Amino acid sequence: MNQHPQHPYQQFQPPPQPPRRKHTGLKATAAVFGVLVVIGGIASAVGEGDGSPKADKKPAASAKQKAEPEKPAADEKKETKKLPALARRGLQSAQDEAQAAGFYTLTSHDALGRDRMQVFDRSWKVCSQKPAPGTHATDTEIDLGTVKTTEDCPAKDAGPVKTADGTMPNFMGKSVKAARSALDSSVSLDATDSTGQGRIVLMESNWEVCSQTPAAGTKLDGQPVAFKAVKFEENCA
């Protein structure tokens, strides 16, 4: 009885290999190292976030240093220039000259105390100035007392209208407009023609106060105010 020949691949059977040992020690070491790295990172993050002082930070100020106030910075020196004499010039020319000299804070008022507005600068001339000519800081306000070019300058500048301080001022010889400007806007004010002609006091800066009620020096407590007036070129009746 013929036997089948064995398959050539079945002739050699490799011996069974013994089971490999697991290198548990290396893996355990790596795991421990990883845990240490994570713990170190957490500790570093906590150290940065809890406000703990660092070696490169400045130490906290002592109680004495906290008590000492900071020294203020030295004031910057203001620029100064020479303000020219501006009297007897037209208002527009005076303003141009002041600006050319380096002064740009300019204002003007009616030197006669009538509280007229200098709407057209070329229609007015300068009678006085404050401050006087000389060296001043360039941010100084320059106030020019003026009258119309057809008028004479007063012997004394009436100055800007001042607000009443709770008592009735003496408005005799002042314009009705100046009186109104000096009084509180809530005051009831009535101005009538002193000549008896019944003219309406429209342009109040052209009307001169001849009499007033209440009298000068009276305490102002909300009572009405009344004026009798004539035009400035007229005489009080």
Helices (H), the chain: 24-49, 63-67, 91-100, 176-182
CATH label of the domain that carries residue 143? 3.30.10
In Å, how far are 52, 54, 103, 155, 225 from 58, measured between CA atoms? 12, 9, 49, 70, 71
pLDDT of residue 140: 97
- Structural domain for 86, as ranges: 80-148
Per residue in 91-115, pLDDT (tens digit) is 999 999 999 999 999 999 999 999 9
* 70 is a domain residue: no
pLDDT of residue 26: 44
* 115 is a domain residue: yes
Cα–Cα–Cα angle for 194, 187, 209, rounded to 5 degrees:
25
| 190 and 138 in a common domain | no
pLDDT of residue 115: 96
DSSP state of 138: T
Helix (H, G, I), strand (E, B) or coil at 207: strand
Are 122 and 90 spatial neighbours (Cβ–Cβ below 8 Å)?
yes
pLDDT of residue 21: 52
pLDDT of residue 60: 58
| 140 and 90 in a common domain | yes
Q: How high is the mean pLDDT of the chain?
A: 82
In Å, how far are 91, 123, 127 from 148, measured between CA atoms? 9, 6, 10
| 226 and 181 in a common domain | yes
Are 78 and 138 spatial neighbours (Cβ–Cβ below 8 Å)?
yes
* 98 is a domain residue: yes
Are 129 and 143 spatial neighbours (Cβ–Cβ below 8 Å)?
yes
| For the chain, the helix, strand and coil percentages under 3-state DSSP, each to the nearest 5 | 25, 20, 55
72-86, 115-129, 176-190: range with lowest mean pLDDT: 72-86
| 186 and 139 in a common domain | no
* 222 is a domain residue: yes
- Mean pLDDT, rounded, for 63-75: 55
pLDDT of residue 229: 98
Are 212 and 172 spatial neighbours (Cβ–Cβ below 8 Å)?
yes
* 122 is a domain residue: yes
Of 25 and 176, the one with more pLDDT: 176
pLDDT of residue 76: 72
| 140 and 84 in a common domain | yes
| 139 and 84 in a common domain | yes
Say if residue 55's pLDDT is above 70.
no
Say if residue 131's pLDDT is above 70.
yes
Are 145 and 118 spatial neighbours (Cβ–Cβ below 8 Å)?
no
Total structural domains within the chain: 2
What's the whole-model pTM score?
0.64
Strands 106-110 and 142-148: parallel
Looking at this protein, which amino acid is placed at residue 146? Answer: T
- Mean pLDDT, rounded, for 172-198: 96
pLDDT of residue 68: 57
Helix (H, G, I), strand (E, B) or coil at 148: strand
